[in-house]
Amino acid sequence: MVSLHARAGLSSPLGARRSALYVSVLSPPTREHTSRRSTRGPRFQIGMPDVTCSRCGQTRSGFERAPFPGQIGARVVQEICQQCWSDWLKQQTMLINHYGLNVLDPQARAFLTNNMTAFLFKSGMGEDVDTSKKGTIQW
């Protein structure tokens, strides 16, 4: 079954009218539509894989895809839960705001990456937000 809908609207600032004809198909999708849709996979996730977090030590939901590129992202998928990643994002926001970092600057990105590995994997020296530094950082 096909239904036709006509719609008139203004097409220019001068007020000239034009009409458009819209066709909507009320029949079920054809085979080609369903085959294209089925290659996309499910639209929702049933559950994330559980991971024993190396930061908090608890078994919680992990990641399906790496939230960070490269080897660090692969390590995050294997070892870090979503809650600890959320804690890192809050810490990262505090560091960016406190030090006034420009995330496009390679030095600032390296600073954040070093702090991320220290925060998540307890390796290296992490930077705590020190309010006595008054928003500056010495490179």
- pLDDT single digits (tens) 4-62: 444 444 444 554 444 444 443 444 444 444 444 445 544 544 567 899 999 999 999 99
pLDDT digit string, tens, across residues 98-119: 999 999 999 999 999 999 999 9
134 within domain boundaries: no
For the whole prediction, is pTM greater than 0.95?
no
42 within domain boundaries: no
16 within domain boundaries: no
**112 and 105 Cβ atoms separated by less than 8 Å:** no
95 within domain boundaries: yes
Containing structural domain, residue 101: 50-127
119 within domain boundaries: yes
In DSSP notation, 67-116 reads SSSHHHHHHHHHH--HHHHHHHHHHHHHHHHHHT--TTSHHHHHHHHHHH
136 within domain boundaries: no
Number of domains in the chain: 1
19 within domain boundaries: no
Output the six-digit token pair for 8: 């008139």
For residue 111, what is the domain's CATH number?
Answer: 1.10.3880.10
